[in-house]
Structure 1
Amino acid sequence: MAQNVLAVYPGTFDPITLGHEDVVRRATQLFARVIVAVAAGHHKKTLFSLDERIDMVRDAVRHYPQVQVESFSGLLRDFVVSRGGKAMVRGLRAVTDFDYEFQLAGMNRSLMPQVETVFLTPGDKYQFISSTFVREIAMLGGEVHRFVSSTVKDRLALKVSRLAPPV
Protein backbone atom coordinates (compact mmCIF):
# COMPACT_ATOMS: atom_id res chain seq x y z
CA MET A 1 0.00 0.00 0.00
CA ALA A 2 1.31 3.44 -0.90
CA GLN A 3 2.18 5.45 2.20
CA ASN A 4 -0.23 8.34 2.79
CA VAL A 5 -1.34 8.49 -0.83
CA LEU A 6 -4.86 9.81 -1.31
CA ALA A 7 -6.78 8.53 -4.32
CA VAL A 8 -10.03 9.96 -5.64
CA TYR A 9 -12.60 7.71 -7.32
CA PRO A 10 -15.05 10.03 -9.11
CA GLY A 11 -18.38 9.23 -10.71
CA THR A 12 -22.09 9.93 -10.66
CA PHE A 13 -22.87 6.53 -9.08
CA ASP A 14 -26.49 6.63 -10.25
CA PRO A 15 -26.76 4.12 -8.62
CA ILE A 16 -23.61 2.58 -7.17
CA THR A 17 -23.25 -0.98 -8.47
CA LEU A 18 -21.42 -4.05 -7.21
CA GLY A 19 -18.81 -3.27 -9.86
CA HIS A 20 -18.21 0.16 -8.33
CA GLU A 21 -17.99 -1.45 -4.90
CA ASP A 22 -15.41 -3.91 -6.21
CA VAL A 23 -13.29 -1.06 -7.59
CA VAL A 24 -13.46 0.70 -4.20
CA ARG A 25 -12.33 -2.50 -2.49
CA ARG A 26 -9.41 -2.84 -4.88
CA ALA A 27 -8.45 0.82 -4.40
CA THR A 28 -8.34 0.39 -0.61
CA GLN A 29 -5.70 -2.30 -1.11
CA LEU A 30 -3.49 0.14 -3.01
CA PHE A 31 -4.00 3.51 -1.33
CA ALA A 32 -3.93 4.70 2.26
CA ARG A 33 -7.02 6.83 1.76
CA VAL A 34 -9.73 6.92 -0.89
CA ILE A 35 -12.35 9.57 -1.50
CA VAL A 36 -15.34 8.43 -3.49
CA ALA A 37 -16.29 11.70 -5.17
CA VAL A 38 -19.95 11.78 -6.14
CA ALA A 39 -20.51 14.20 -9.00
CA ALA A 40 -23.43 16.57 -8.78
CA GLY A 41 -24.07 15.40 -12.33
CA HIS A 42 -25.08 18.71 -13.84
CA HIS A 43 -24.24 17.30 -17.28
CA LYS A 44 -26.37 14.19 -16.79
CA LYS A 45 -30.00 13.63 -15.91
CA THR A 46 -29.76 11.40 -12.85
CA LEU A 47 -32.45 9.13 -11.49
CA PHE A 48 -31.39 9.72 -7.88
CA SER A 49 -30.73 13.06 -6.26
CA LEU A 50 -27.22 13.92 -5.14
CA ASP A 51 -28.14 13.30 -1.49
CA GLU A 52 -29.65 9.90 -2.34
CA ARG A 53 -26.54 8.90 -4.29
CA ILE A 54 -24.26 10.01 -1.45
CA ASP A 55 -26.32 7.98 1.04
CA MET A 56 -26.14 4.86 -1.14
CA VAL A 57 -22.38 5.22 -1.63
CA ARG A 58 -21.82 5.80 2.11
CA ASP A 59 -23.80 2.67 2.87
CA ALA A 60 -21.79 0.68 0.30
CA VAL A 61 -18.37 1.72 1.66
CA ARG A 62 -19.18 1.76 5.37
CA HIS A 63 -16.86 -1.23 5.99
CA TYR A 64 -13.80 0.69 4.82
CA PRO A 65 -12.61 3.19 7.45
CA GLN A 66 -10.08 4.69 5.02
CA VAL A 67 -12.82 5.65 2.53
CA GLN A 68 -14.63 8.98 2.64
CA VAL A 69 -17.57 10.00 0.49
CA GLU A 70 -17.87 13.58 -0.69
CA SER A 71 -19.77 15.38 -3.41
CA PHE A 72 -18.32 17.75 -5.95
CA SER A 73 -19.43 20.02 -8.74
CA GLY A 74 -17.39 21.92 -11.23
CA LEU A 75 -14.01 20.75 -12.44
CA LEU A 76 -12.86 17.44 -11.02
CA ARG A 77 -9.34 18.90 -11.16
CA ASP A 78 -10.26 21.53 -8.56
CA PHE A 79 -11.70 18.90 -6.24
CA VAL A 80 -8.74 16.51 -6.53
CA VAL A 81 -6.11 19.23 -6.08
CA SER A 82 -7.94 20.84 -3.15
CA ARG A 83 -8.00 17.49 -1.32
CA GLY A 84 -4.33 16.74 -2.02
CA GLY A 85 -5.09 13.76 -4.22
CA LYS A 86 -2.14 12.07 -5.89
CA ALA A 87 -4.08 9.44 -7.84
CA MET A 88 -7.39 9.24 -9.60
CA VAL A 89 -9.03 5.82 -9.80
CA ARG A 90 -11.05 4.95 -12.87
CA GLY A 91 -12.85 1.67 -13.45
CA LEU A 92 -12.50 -0.11 -16.78
CA ARG A 93 -14.99 -2.79 -17.70
CA ALA A 94 -14.20 -3.48 -21.33
CA VAL A 95 -12.24 -2.29 -24.33
CA THR A 96 -15.11 0.05 -25.19
CA ASP A 97 -14.45 1.99 -21.96
CA PHE A 98 -10.76 2.30 -22.71
CA ASP A 99 -10.92 4.84 -25.55
CA TYR A 100 -12.99 7.32 -23.54
CA GLU A 101 -11.03 6.74 -20.33
CA PHE A 102 -7.70 7.08 -22.16
CA GLN A 103 -8.77 10.45 -23.56
CA LEU A 104 -10.04 11.54 -20.16
CA ALA A 105 -6.77 10.50 -18.49
CA GLY A 106 -4.82 12.54 -21.04
CA MET A 107 -6.95 15.61 -20.41
CA ASN A 108 -6.66 15.15 -16.65
CA ARG A 109 -2.88 14.81 -16.94
CA SER A 110 -2.83 18.09 -18.81
CA LEU A 111 -4.95 19.78 -16.12
CA MET A 112 -3.19 18.19 -13.13
CA PRO A 113 0.22 16.74 -14.04
CA GLN A 114 0.95 15.85 -10.42
CA VAL A 115 -1.96 13.37 -10.30
CA GLU A 116 -1.73 9.89 -11.83
CA THR A 117 -4.73 8.10 -13.28
CA VAL A 118 -4.92 4.46 -12.20
CA PHE A 119 -7.21 2.09 -14.09
CA LEU A 120 -8.72 -0.76 -12.11
CA THR A 121 -10.85 -3.53 -13.51
CA PRO A 122 -13.65 -5.06 -11.50
CA GLY A 123 -13.84 -8.81 -11.00
CA ASP A 124 -15.07 -10.92 -13.91
CA LYS A 125 -18.62 -11.18 -12.63
CA TYR A 126 -18.94 -7.37 -12.51
CA GLN A 127 -17.35 -6.38 -15.82
CA PHE A 128 -20.60 -6.03 -17.73
CA ILE A 129 -22.48 -4.03 -15.09
CA SER A 130 -23.17 -0.35 -15.66
CA SER A 131 -25.40 2.06 -13.78
CA THR A 132 -27.16 2.83 -17.06
CA PHE A 133 -28.05 -0.84 -17.61
CA VAL A 134 -29.17 -1.21 -13.99
CA ARG A 135 -31.46 1.83 -14.24
CA GLU A 136 -32.95 0.62 -17.52
CA ILE A 137 -33.55 -2.89 -16.22
CA ALA A 138 -35.18 -1.54 -13.04
CA MET A 139 -37.36 0.92 -14.98
CA LEU A 140 -38.61 -1.92 -17.18
CA GLY A 141 -39.47 -4.12 -14.19
CA GLY A 142 -36.49 -6.46 -14.39
CA GLU A 143 -34.48 -7.98 -11.56
CA VAL A 144 -31.32 -6.11 -10.53
CA HIS A 145 -30.36 -8.04 -7.39
CA ARG A 146 -27.25 -9.53 -9.07
CA PHE A 147 -25.91 -6.09 -9.97
CA VAL A 148 -26.45 -3.95 -6.86
CA SER A 149 -26.59 -4.34 -3.09
CA SER A 150 -29.91 -5.13 -1.45
CA THR A 151 -30.12 -1.54 -0.15
CA VAL A 152 -29.69 -0.12 -3.65
CA LYS A 153 -32.16 -2.68 -5.05
CA ASP A 154 -34.78 -1.53 -2.53
CA ARG A 155 -34.13 2.15 -3.30
CA LEU A 156 -34.43 1.46 -7.02
CA ALA A 157 -37.74 -0.35 -6.52
CA LEU A 158 -39.11 2.53 -4.48
CA LYS A 159 -37.91 5.12 -6.98
CA VAL A 160 -39.36 3.20 -9.92
CA SER A 161 -42.71 2.73 -8.14
CA ARG A 162 -42.91 6.50 -7.53
CA LEU A 163 -42.14 7.26 -11.17
CA ALA A 164 -44.59 4.72 -12.60
CA PRO A 165 -47.71 6.27 -14.10
CA PRO A 166 -50.95 5.43 -12.28
CA VAL A 167 -52.88 2.51 -13.78
Structure 2
Amino acid sequence: MRKVVAYELLSRDGVAERPDGFFADWDDAMDANLGAVIATQDAVILGRRSYREWAEFWPGSGIEPFATFINGVAKYVTTSAPLDRKWANATAIDGDLAGFVRDLRNQPGADIGVHASISVTQALLAAGVVDELRLVIAPVIAGSGRRLLDGLPAIRLEPIRSTTSPAGYLLVDYRIIR
Protein backbone atom coordinates (compact mmCIF):
# COMPACT_ATOMS: atom_id res chain seq x y z
CA MET A 1 0.00 0.00 0.00
CA ARG A 2 1.22 3.49 -0.86
CA LYS A 3 1.86 6.08 1.85
CA VAL A 4 0.23 9.49 1.99
CA VAL A 5 2.83 12.06 3.08
CA ALA A 6 1.80 15.61 3.98
CA TYR A 7 4.64 18.14 3.65
CA GLU A 8 3.96 21.57 5.13
CA LEU A 9 5.85 24.78 5.87
CA LEU A 10 4.87 26.32 9.21
CA SER A 11 5.77 29.19 11.48
CA ARG A 12 6.68 28.30 15.08
CA ASP A 13 3.08 29.07 16.13
CA GLY A 14 1.65 26.69 13.51
CA VAL A 15 0.65 29.15 10.78
CA ALA A 16 0.74 27.54 7.33
CA GLU A 17 -0.88 30.34 5.35
CA ARG A 18 1.45 32.32 3.07
CA PRO A 19 4.74 30.77 4.21
CA ASP A 20 6.62 33.02 1.78
CA GLY A 21 6.03 35.74 4.41
CA PHE A 22 8.08 33.94 7.06
CA PHE A 23 10.45 31.65 5.11
CA ALA A 24 13.36 33.93 4.30
CA ASP A 25 16.54 31.87 4.56
CA TRP A 26 16.11 28.63 2.60
CA ASP A 27 19.31 26.61 2.98
CA ASP A 28 20.95 23.48 1.54
CA ALA A 29 19.66 21.24 4.35
CA MET A 30 16.10 22.33 3.56
CA ASP A 31 16.71 21.64 -0.15
CA ALA A 32 18.03 18.17 0.67
CA ASN A 33 15.03 17.53 2.94
CA LEU A 34 12.58 18.56 0.23
CA GLY A 35 14.50 16.49 -2.32
CA ALA A 36 14.22 13.41 -0.08
CA VAL A 37 10.47 13.95 0.36
CA ILE A 38 9.66 14.33 -3.33
CA ALA A 39 12.04 11.56 -4.44
CA THR A 40 9.57 9.00 -3.06
CA GLN A 41 6.41 10.54 -4.59
CA ASP A 42 4.72 9.95 -7.94
CA ALA A 43 1.41 11.71 -7.22
CA VAL A 44 0.35 14.91 -5.46
CA ILE A 45 -2.99 16.01 -4.02
CA LEU A 46 -3.69 19.75 -4.23
CA GLY A 47 -6.55 22.04 -3.32
CA ARG A 48 -8.16 24.31 -5.89
CA ARG A 49 -6.45 27.51 -4.68
CA SER A 50 -3.00 25.97 -4.45
CA TYR A 51 -3.47 24.46 -7.90
CA ARG A 52 -4.46 27.82 -9.39
CA GLU A 53 -1.46 29.62 -7.84
CA TRP A 54 1.01 26.85 -8.64
CA ALA A 55 -0.24 26.36 -12.22
CA GLU A 56 0.72 29.99 -12.83
CA PHE A 57 4.11 29.84 -11.17
CA TRP A 58 5.72 26.40 -11.51
CA PRO A 59 5.53 25.72 -15.26
CA GLY A 60 7.91 28.64 -15.90
CA SER A 61 10.04 28.21 -12.78
CA GLY A 62 13.65 27.09 -12.63
CA ILE A 63 13.62 26.48 -8.86
CA GLU A 64 14.96 22.97 -8.55
CA PRO A 65 14.44 20.23 -7.61
CA PHE A 66 10.78 21.11 -7.07
CA ALA A 67 9.99 22.60 -10.51
CA THR A 68 10.91 19.43 -12.42
CA PHE A 69 9.06 17.30 -9.86
CA ILE A 70 5.80 19.26 -9.68
CA ASN A 71 5.60 19.87 -13.42
CA GLY A 72 6.00 16.17 -14.22
CA VAL A 73 4.13 14.44 -11.39
CA ALA A 74 0.48 13.35 -11.52
CA LYS A 75 -1.54 16.08 -9.81
CA TYR A 76 -5.02 15.41 -8.38
CA VAL A 77 -6.96 18.55 -7.56
CA THR A 78 -9.93 18.60 -5.24
CA THR A 79 -12.52 20.87 -6.82
CA SER A 80 -16.17 20.84 -7.79
CA ALA A 81 -15.50 22.95 -10.88
CA PRO A 82 -13.45 22.23 -13.99
CA LEU A 83 -9.79 23.21 -13.70
CA ASP A 84 -9.52 26.80 -14.93
CA ARG A 85 -5.84 26.51 -15.90
CA LYS A 86 -4.17 23.78 -17.91
CA TRP A 87 -1.16 22.10 -16.34
CA ALA A 88 0.47 18.83 -17.37
CA ASN A 89 -0.77 15.68 -15.65
CA ALA A 90 -3.53 17.43 -13.69
CA THR A 91 -6.87 15.75 -12.99
CA ALA A 92 -9.83 17.13 -11.05
CA ILE A 93 -11.20 15.13 -8.12
CA ASP A 94 -14.92 15.72 -7.94
CA GLY A 95 -16.47 14.07 -4.94
CA ASP A 96 -15.24 12.46 -1.75
CA LEU A 97 -11.59 13.45 -1.29
CA ALA A 98 -10.81 10.92 1.46
CA GLY A 99 -12.42 8.11 -0.54
CA PHE A 100 -10.46 9.07 -3.63
CA VAL A 101 -7.18 9.09 -1.69
CA ARG A 102 -7.99 5.74 -0.05
CA ASP A 103 -8.58 4.25 -3.51
CA LEU A 104 -5.38 5.85 -4.85
CA ARG A 105 -3.39 4.39 -1.91
CA ASN A 106 -4.47 0.91 -2.98
CA GLN A 107 -3.23 1.34 -6.55
CA PRO A 108 0.36 0.50 -7.51
CA GLY A 109 2.83 3.34 -7.24
CA ALA A 110 5.04 5.37 -4.94
CA ASP A 111 4.10 7.75 -2.13
CA ILE A 112 1.31 10.29 -2.56
CA GLY A 113 2.25 13.82 -1.51
CA VAL A 114 0.05 16.52 -0.09
CA HIS A 115 1.70 19.90 -0.51
CA ALA A 116 0.70 23.47 0.44
CA SER A 117 -3.06 22.91 0.64
CA ILE A 118 -4.07 23.63 4.25
CA SER A 119 -7.71 22.54 3.99
CA VAL A 120 -6.81 19.39 2.03
CA THR A 121 -4.17 18.40 4.59
CA GLN A 122 -6.63 19.08 7.43
CA ALA A 123 -9.38 17.04 5.76
CA LEU A 124 -7.07 14.09 5.10
CA LEU A 125 -5.62 14.19 8.63
CA ALA A 126 -9.16 14.27 10.10
CA ALA A 127 -10.19 11.34 7.88
CA GLY A 128 -7.22 9.28 9.04
CA VAL A 129 -5.75 8.98 5.54
CA VAL A 130 -2.33 10.60 6.12
CA ASP A 131 0.50 8.22 7.04
CA GLU A 132 3.32 10.71 7.61
CA LEU A 133 3.49 14.40 8.44
CA ARG A 134 6.71 16.15 7.39
CA LEU A 135 7.06 19.68 8.69
CA VAL A 136 9.53 22.47 8.14
CA ILE A 137 9.08 24.92 11.00
CA ALA A 138 10.45 28.44 10.64
CA PRO A 139 12.06 30.21 13.61
CA VAL A 140 9.36 32.87 13.41
CA ILE A 141 6.10 33.55 15.23
CA ALA A 142 3.72 34.66 12.48
CA GLY A 143 1.05 35.83 14.93
CA SER A 144 -1.85 35.49 12.52
CA GLY A 145 -3.00 33.37 9.62
CA ARG A 146 -4.53 29.93 9.15
CA ARG A 147 -2.96 27.30 11.34
CA LEU A 148 -2.49 23.80 9.97
CA LEU A 149 -3.54 21.86 13.06
CA ASP A 150 -6.53 23.95 14.20
CA GLY A 151 -9.84 22.10 14.41
CA LEU A 152 -8.39 18.60 14.09
CA PRO A 153 -9.27 15.69 16.34
CA ALA A 154 -6.58 14.23 18.61
CA ILE A 155 -3.95 12.47 16.49
CA ARG A 156 -1.08 10.46 17.94
CA LEU A 157 2.30 11.00 16.31
CA GLU A 158 5.48 8.96 16.44
CA PRO A 159 8.68 10.89 15.72
CA ILE A 160 10.66 9.55 12.78
CA ARG A 161 13.35 12.22 12.52
CA SER A 162 14.11 15.75 13.60
CA THR A 163 17.01 18.02 12.86
CA THR A 164 17.75 21.72 12.66
CA SER A 165 18.96 23.30 9.45
CA PRO A 166 21.91 25.74 9.51
CA ALA A 167 19.44 28.64 9.15
CA GLY A 168 17.53 27.47 12.27
CA TYR A 169 14.55 25.76 10.65
CA LEU A 170 13.25 22.59 12.32
CA LEU A 171 12.87 19.63 9.96
CA VAL A 172 10.50 17.24 11.72
CA ASP A 173 8.98 14.00 10.40
CA TYR A 174 6.18 12.12 12.17
CA ARG A 175 4.40 8.85 11.53
CA ILE A 176 0.65 8.91 12.25
CA ILE A 177 -0.29 6.24 14.79
CA ARG A 178 -3.67 4.69 14.09
TM above 0.5, yes or no, is no
Higher helix share: 1
TM-score of the aligned structures, taking structure 2 as reference length: 0.35
Higher strand share: 2
